Chains A and B, each alone.
Chain A
Amino acid sequence: MRVRVRSLESERINFVLEDVDLALANALRRILIADLPTMAIDIVNIEENSSVLVDEFIAHRLGMVPLISTACDKLINYNRDCVCLDHCPKCSVELELNIKCTTPETVLVTSNHLQIKGQVANDTSGNLIDPPIGLPDNFGLPINYHQEGAYPITLCKLRQGQELRINCIAKKGINKEHAKWGPTSAVAFEYDPYNKLKHTHYWFEQDERAEWPLSANATEEAPPDDSPIGLNAEPRTFYFDVEATGALEPKDMILLAFAELQNKLAGIVLALDQPTDQEGYMDNNNLVEGMEPSSTAADQVDDWGVGATQGGFDWT
């Protein structure tokens, strides 16, 4: 496997993945979309909201703000796994939004008005929890936070006299749970720009080439010639174009994705290696509901008259 980065920008990475299976490339893509942990506002406590937007509306908007989540995979716990009582610096970031419009002009409330709040929390045994070491300074801040030339994210508009007093708790999570925890906005992925493998069928009126424009990735490959393509030919080169929300650095994202993939594979390997009589997972008696436990798995015949061994439950 080879990764060749073609371009790297602050919120975008374009690379070629070579010498890998389609399955692996797609797994990487899926992980990039769904499995990378980031920080996002998850709990919003509204003390005062006299804006025109209702509480849920503002909470939803706050949740969608990408927060800088560098290194949150290692240094931050999932809130559900954390030792603390409610939330603590090890599993969350607290932000607040306190703003009141006092001028006749409308105030535009943006992600720039969010401020990080220090938090003090104890664990179950009453010890003070220290903040994790090694987090970057801007950890948990919204993207483009007070940056020249970059636009913050509009949250709301306030008229004279209207006020927002909001306390937010950002937690770690993954996109599978909610899209706000996704570090990517679009993951493009392409192989075989010339369609040499005939995976797809281009419908055309007169001329295929004229009617179906080639993608930019076609420059990377030789145009199809008359040489035959083997029956077993498989795609081996994949052109990725990943657009990030800004929560994670594009480079980190790719590295993390690979790590996550390894993790997942390791999980499967571990699970496959486990003995049958271990609790839960591999015990075939528990796999099929309502099946009478019996002394030998091989004796079992299920409702369809198929032995359990053939049914594929006996993993030993």
Chain B
Amino acid sequence: MLEDEDVDVKPKITESDDWTTPGNFHGKSLTDEVKTVEDKWQLLPAFLKTRGLVKQHIDSYNHFVDVELKNIIKANEKVTSDVDPKFYLKYTDIHVGNPERQDADSVDKSITPHEARLRDMTYSAPIRISVEYTRGKQIVRRRGIPIGRLPVMLRSNKCILSGKDEETLARYRECPLDPGGYFVVKGTEKVILVQEQLSKNRMIIETDPKKNVQASVTSSTHERKSKSYVATKNGKIYLRHNSIGDDVPIVVALKAMGVTSDKEILQLVAGHDDEYKEVFYINIEEALRMGIHTEMQALEWIGARSKSARRAVGPAHQKRPVWEDAIETLSTIVLAHVPVENLNFRPKAIYVAVMVRRVLMAMVDEKMLDDRDYVGNKRLELAGQLLSLLFEDLFKKFNHDLKLNIDKVLKKPNRTTEFDAYTQLLYGGDHITSGFVRAISTGNWSLKRFKMERAGVTHVLSRLSYISALGMMTRISSQFEKTRKVSGPRALQPSQWGMLCPSDTPEGEACGLVKNLALMTHITTDVEEEPIVNICYMLGVEDVCLLTGTELYRRDTYIVSLNGNLIGVTRHPLKFVTQFRKLRRNGFINEFVSVYINHHHNSVNISSDGGRICRPMIIVENSFSKVTSEHIKMLKAGKIDFDAFLTQGLVEYLDVNEENDAYIAISENDITETSTHLEIEPFTLLGACAGLIPYPHHNQSPRNTYQCAMGKQAIGAIAYNQLNRIDTLLYLMVYPQQPMVKTKTIELIGYDKLPAGQNAMVAVMSYSGYDIEDALILNKASLDRGFGRCQVMRKYSTMIRKYPNGTHDRLADAPIGLDGVIPKKYQALEPDGIAGAGERVDTNDVIVNKQSPSNALDNSINPGQADSSTYKNAPMSYKSPVPGFVDQVLITDTESEQTLVKALLRQTRRPELGDKFSSRHGQKGVCGLIVPQADMPFNDRGITPDVIMNPHGFPSRMTVGKMIELLSGKAGVIRGTLEYGTAFGGSKVDDMSQVLIDNGYSYAGKETMTSGITGECHTFYTYLGPIYYQKLKHMVLDKMHARARGPRAVLTRQPTEGRSRDGGLRLGEMERDALLGYGAAHLVRERLMLSSDLFHVDVCNDCGTMGYNTFCPMCKSQKNISNIQIPYAAKLLFQELLAMNIYPKISLEDAV
């Protein structure tokens, strides 16, 4: 056992325990507590082994490729022609092949993701379809026609990496710890972030800004996506939808749906609650006043106001009666997710009635309003769903184009050969391919067809550290605008317990809107509804269409709905739910289908839709955990895996809504008679980033949040293939160490294998005054020995282009100077014109000596005849102020057959003054002073600290976890063990103190130290021990900037802005105000004009315009010309004003 649980584990049981002693059986005596399930946390690694950290992305993508694609094809299966009614083309099948490289001359088509990364290609696989179409009188069937390429998600089941062992992965140059779940598009790794939104097809009762209650449903089916409301206005209830011009009084709407009797309407809406009847009467009156009594009248009224259906009617057809429009609108557009089969409006009418009832309930009692922020009302949209929308759009466009092309050909009366649609299919171009690539690489999902306009859906996978990449894969972004100042969506929701990490969210504008998944979560994909409906009916659910309002709303009747659709009622909800769950636990129903009772709404809700967050929990029956130590033993021995726990009904997934039906014990001691479930491990409520923090439960909570942000900036090892990667910027630590105090999460996510930090011996004391404001003092000898040393690799890449006119760039070897020596600038170059690996380069040294033809863009020259004698230099040179070394050089071809040269430049940096460090407790600080070892304080064993941290960092930050980390770390160092700081557990302070005492240290981790400068004993004691320190990517070298003179902007002649352009430091308004206030007028003049954009200009005193050469072109005279100094910007302004017919006159006075 690695760690003591919080639960009381009495004497450890070992095989050698003598159980023959009376009263001692298997190491237990009668007085011992009942044995708990030891190591139930072992389920967690088992879970992660089968599911992985980014399984949600991969599952979603797989679902898209395996199921959704086929559904989309089925929904759009036929292409017909307006010209030839006999022609048809039908898609019969679709499948995605293996990832392939596109090079025409390649023999082996298989491609690895790493090749795609290096060669700036897209890791994609062909989409192949099978079709059936008519050719003349024949019906032709063809299979495997490629229609485009789909970017492949890494580690999905289409990816070559899926299911490969470590050795194979190494051969593919891939890191086994890399989670996958992203795409490689044009060489960059792109993640489609999880998007959070309100659930589809569910009623949400809320108030609009005017405090009117309304029920809204976002319907989403394959055919249509729309939003319908049942809203209140002046106490009256209306049905509102975009496709109907006016709000439809609810009674009219219900009458149009075939509920014509007022009594029936009242029953359906209010049941027998007089309170609700009271509130509803007014609506019936309104319908009376409008004179609408029959279904036809209602339909006519709605039809006259419906917008959409009109368009669909072509000019050739007869004009459709108005009431048919209404039927069309009501059946397919309003509340589109409620099916209307054979014009049976009954289900939809009941659905509307239930909506109205919910509105009435909320009008009477505002407690019945729903909470939008409740996690159970949210759905997460993953890569698969977004891609499926995209594909649907692209495919419809493809079909449309195909139809147009086919029509175009069929229109021609005489054809030499019989028309074969196959050629047209192949002609389709790379519309689908480029559509995917464009969407993923720009992140713009603009699908007009689905009224979707989203930017920033994809992000470049951050490879700053392993944790940053991992953190990105679990990130959830909200659709909510960042600018609005509302706290609701940003607040911590009690229902996110265990599902979303409470700590990991950014600070600032996106605070609370960007969230992260907790460690042990799963996001569901769609599960087929039909079998579930059948099971429900078998379990005694009565069909909703057979009922009237009286039965529907009886006190003891519960409405059963599946994914928001009402399917029936039951009188025995508890029995129904129990039986349903039993079936699920036995595998008759998919494990991700959830069911729960909502007693407020008298309903039983079943969900099988995708995007729900859920997590596994141990089932408790009769106050006993179904998982026992025996199961865990088998698990440890590798005899069973996590799925076995599911299939045996020991563990089940609960989503947020079903959690409300469960009574979950946190530890086994908490199990009571009413308990239904047991947590697998409480620390799984944190996410991957927060899981790195030791003893987070002892910290002030914002500190954990800060660390979550900072852990992503820590320099360390990023992947096993880090040295094979050529990334734009890569930070690597020279000697990364796994933390002395780790957590179970660290082991589970592999942070101990790809760490980002070092265990520093920290003395918490004041030293020298250079440690104020969180600055750290570093030991020079430690830095000499490699503490905090890191490598920075930067990519320099260039294309050796071929131009359309036949000319092309070339690489030239180093020129020889007049003195016969190669100039310093070119000395790193090898004969091929590219710097050699291992060469040292200084600022402005040439890395790739490229030359471009001077007539590259001149297309008047014929290819082949191009005069390529003149070339101009276009070298790529090294930019950093500090020398670097060429790490590696890659010469390759891209997809567009251009030669690509990438050079990776490396710098090795040791920490210097101003570099940023941080512990794992949100305590960042810069290096304030580097002290020789001899001046460092030392303890009685001669240990000098690596880092001195000022104790003032503790009182206000309250990072007690850091202190405990130090204590555990110290005990671990002494004992030679790695200690654990797992949340809600971990090595105990008492035990750690005992270790210290046993080894002759003070139990509190304090030591008396001696000053290295005077040799005198400090009068104070010092908290001394190892703390894991991260070096953050912010280094002085990348930020330092100063300028005396330098480049100026062309237009204004003012100094440029920004470090990258060697810009000036702005003396801004506030600084100017201070100087003016002080009275330093000349300093202001100097800064704002003399040192900025001074301009001498001749001004004519007669006409007030600017002249030149002591001549005024306006007056045509040289009289009365004065030379003055003004800012160039002022001169520019005058000229711009003149250009717009404004005549600014400069009138001069004598200077005093």
A29 & B887 in contact (Cβ 8 Å cutoff): no
Q: Are A34 and B1020 also in contact (CB < 8 A) when A186-B942, A188-B940, A189-B942 are?
A: no
Q: In whole angstroms, how far apart are the Cα atoms of A295 and B1001 in the complex?
A: 64
B1019 at interface, CB cutoff 8 A = yes
- Which residues in chain A, 280-307, are within 8 Å of chain B measured between CB atoms? none
| Interface 9-residue window, one of B76-84, B508-516, B780-788 | B780-788
Q: In whole angstroms, how far apart are the Cα atoms of A289 and B838 in the complex?
A: 46
B808 at interface, CB cutoff 8 A = no
Q: In whole angstroms, how far apart are the Cα atoms of A243 and B782 in the complex?
A: 17
A213 & B838 in contact (Cβ 8 Å cutoff): no
B1012 & A30 in contact (Cβ 8 Å cutoff): yes
B934 at interface, CB cutoff 8 A = yes
- Which residues in chain B, 979-1028, are within 8 Å of chain A measured between CB atoms? 997, 1000-1004, 1006, 1008, 1010, 1012, 1014-1021
Flag A177-196 by CB within 8 Å of B: 1 or 0 each.
01110100011111110010
| Interface 9-residue window, one of A48-56, A72-80, A253-261 | A48-56
The number of chain A residues touching the other chain, given as a range, is 35 or more
A64 & B785 in contact (Cβ 8 Å cutoff): yes
Residue from B781, B908, B1006, B1012 within 8 A of A179 (CB atoms): B781
B786 & A200 in contact (Cβ 8 Å cutoff): no
A22 & B1021 in contact (Cβ 8 Å cutoff): no
Q: In whole angstroms, how far apart are the Cα atoms of A22 and B1012 in the complex?
A: 12
Closest to A178 in B: B784
Q: In whole angstroms, how far apart are the Cα atoms of A211 and B1002 in the complex?
A: 6
Residue from B781, B786, B1016 within 8 A of A182 (CB atoms): B781
Closest approach, in angstroms, between the C-beta of A181 and any C-beta of chain B? 9
B535 at interface, CB cutoff 8 A = no
- Which residues in chain A, 197-235, are within 8 Å of chain B measured between CB atoms? 199-203, 211-213, 215
A179 & B784 in contact (Cβ 8 Å cutoff): yes
- Which residues in chain A, 1-52, are within 8 Å of chain B measured between CB atoms? 22-23, 25-27, 29-30, 33-34, 46, 49, 52
B1010 & A190 in contact (Cβ 8 Å cutoff): yes
A175 at interface, CB cutoff 8 A = yes
**Chain B residues near A189 (CB-CB < 8 A):** 938, 942, 1010, 1015
A146 at interface, CB cutoff 8 A = no
Closest to B785 in A: A179
**Chain A residues near B943 (CB-CB < 8 A):** 186
Closest approach, in angstroms, between the C-beta of A45 and any C-beta of chain B? 12
**Chain A residues near B1014 (CB-CB < 8 A):** 22-23, 26
B409 at interface, CB cutoff 8 A = no
Q: Are A175 and B933 also in contact (CB < 8 A) when A55-B885, A186-B942 are?
A: yes
Flag B931-953 by CB within 8 Å of A: 1 or 0 each.
01110001111111000000000
- Which residues in chain A, 97-138, are within 8 Å of chain B measured between CB atoms? none
Residue from A56, A179, A182, A202 within 8 A of B885 (CB atoms): A56
**Chain B residues near A241 (CB-CB < 8 A):** 941-942
Q: In whole angstroms, how far apart are the Cα atoms of A133 and B789 in the complex?
A: 40
Closest to B907 in A: A56
B791 at interface, CB cutoff 8 A = yes
A57 at interface, CB cutoff 8 A = yes
B942 & A54 in contact (Cβ 8 Å cutoff): no
A211 & B1021 in contact (Cβ 8 Å cutoff): no
**Chain B residues near A55 (CB-CB < 8 A):** 838, 885
Flag A237-267 by CB within 8 Å of B: 1 or 0 each.
0000111000000000000000000000000
Closest to A190 in B: B940
A165 at interface, CB cutoff 8 A = no
Q: Are A176 and B942 also in contact (CB < 8 A) when A22-B1016, A182-B781, A199-B1019 are?
A: no
B906 at interface, CB cutoff 8 A = yes
B723 at interface, CB cutoff 8 A = yes
- Which residues in chain B, 777-836, are within 8 Å of chain A measured between CB atoms? 780-782, 784-786, 789, 791
Main secondary structure of the interface of A (DSSP, over half): mixed
Closest to B1015 in A: A26
B932 & A176 in contact (Cβ 8 Å cutoff): yes
B734 at interface, CB cutoff 8 A = yes
A60 at interface, CB cutoff 8 A = yes
Residue from B781, B932, B942, B1008 within 8 A of A200 (CB atoms): B1008
Closest approach, in angstroms, between the C-beta of B880 and any C-beta of chain A? 15
Closest approach, in angstroms, between the C-beta of B846 and any C-beta of chain A? 21
Closest to B1017 in A: A199
B1006 & A54 in contact (Cβ 8 Å cutoff): no
Q: In whole angstroms, how far apart are the Cα atoms of A52 and B724 in the complex?
A: 10
A34 & B1021 in contact (Cβ 8 Å cutoff): no
Residue from B734, B782, B940, B1008 within 8 A of A202 (CB atoms): B1008
Q: In whole angstroms, how far apart are the Cα atoms of A27 and B734 in the complex?
A: 34
Flag B1011-1052 by CB within 8 Å of A: 1 or 0 each.
010111111110000000000000000000000000000000
Flag B730-757 by CB within 8 Å of A: 1 or 0 each.
0000100000000000000000000000
Closest approach, in angstroms, between the C-beta of A27 and any C-beta of chain B? 8
A33 & B885 in contact (Cβ 8 Å cutoff): no
**Chain B residues near A242 (CB-CB < 8 A):** 942
Q: In whole angstroms, how far apart are the Cα atoms of A54 and B997 in the complex?
A: 44
B1015 & A33 in contact (Cβ 8 Å cutoff): no
Q: In whole angstroms, how far apart are the Cα atoms of A241 and B938 in the complex?
A: 12
Q: Are A56 and B908 also in contact (CB < 8 A) when A22-B1015, A200-B1017 are?
A: yes
A200 & B934 in contact (Cβ 8 Å cutoff): no
B780 & A200 in contact (Cβ 8 Å cutoff): no
Q: Are A179 and B734 also in contact (CB < 8 A) when A192-B1017, A200-B1019, A241-B942 are?
A: no
**Chain B residues near A56 (CB-CB < 8 A):** 791, 885, 906, 908
B786 & A60 in contact (Cβ 8 Å cutoff): yes
B781 & A29 in contact (Cβ 8 Å cutoff): no
**Chain B residues near A195 (CB-CB < 8 A):** 1017
Flag B913-933 by CB within 8 Å of A: 1 or 0 each.
000000000000000000011
**Chain A residues near B997 (CB-CB < 8 A):** 213
Residue from B933, B1002, B1016 within 8 A of A212 (CB atoms): B1002
**Chain B residues near A176 (CB-CB < 8 A):** 932
Q: In whole angstroms, how far apart are the Cα atoms of A213 and B932 in the complex?
A: 30
Closest approach, in angstroms, between the C-beta of A175 and any C-beta of chain B? 7
A179 & B780 in contact (Cβ 8 Å cutoff): yes
**Chain A residues near B940 (CB-CB < 8 A):** 188, 190, 215
A60 & B942 in contact (Cβ 8 Å cutoff): no
Q: Are A188 and B1015 also in contact (CB < 8 A) when A34-B932, A52-B723, A200-B1021 are?
A: no
Residue of B1002, B1008, B1015, B1016 with most chain A CB atoms under a 10 A cut-off: B1015
Q: In whole angstroms, how far apart are the Cα atoms of A153 and B944 in the complex?
A: 23
Closest to A47 in B: B838
Closest to A239 in B: B940
Q: In whole angstroms, how far apart are the Cα atoms of A186 and B943 in the complex?
A: 6
**Chain B residues near A29 (CB-CB < 8 A):** 934, 1015
A213 & B1002 in contact (Cβ 8 Å cutoff): yes
Q: In whole angstroms, how far apart are the Cα atoms of A30 and B933 in the complex?
A: 9
Q: In whole angstroms, how far apart are the Cα atoms of A30 and B934 in the complex?
A: 5
B-to-A contact residues, CB < 8 Å: 723, 734, 780-782, 784-786, 789, 791, 838, 885, 887, 906, 908, 932-934, 938-944, 997, 1000-1004, 1006, 1008, 1010, 1012, 1014-1021
Beyond the given pairs A29-B1015, A187-B938, 18 more chain A to chain B contacts, judged by CB atoms under 8 angstroms and listed by A's residue number, are A22-B1014, A23-B1015, A26-B1015, A30-B934, A34-B934, A54-B908, A56-B791, A56-B885, A60-B789, A176-B932, A179-B933, A189-B942, A189-B1010, A199-B1017, A200-B1017, A202-B1021, A215-B940, A242-B942
Q: Closest 3 A-B residue pairs measured CB to CB? A: A26-B1015, A188-B942, A186-B942
28 contacts between A and B (CB under 8 A): A22-B1016, A23-B1015, A26-B1014, A29-B1015, A33-B933, A34-B932, A54-B887, A54-B908, A56-B906, A56-B908, A60-B908, A178-B784, A180-B784, A182-B781, A182-B933, A186-B944, A188-B938, A192-B1017, A200-B1017, A200-B1020, A201-B1021, A203-B1021, A211-B1003, A212-B1002, A213-B1001, A241-B941, A242-B942, A243-B942
A-to-B contact residues, CB < 8 Å: 22-23, 25-27, 29-30, 33-34, 46, 49, 52, 54-57, 60, 64, 175-176, 178-180, 182, 186-192, 195, 199-203, 211-213, 215, 241-243
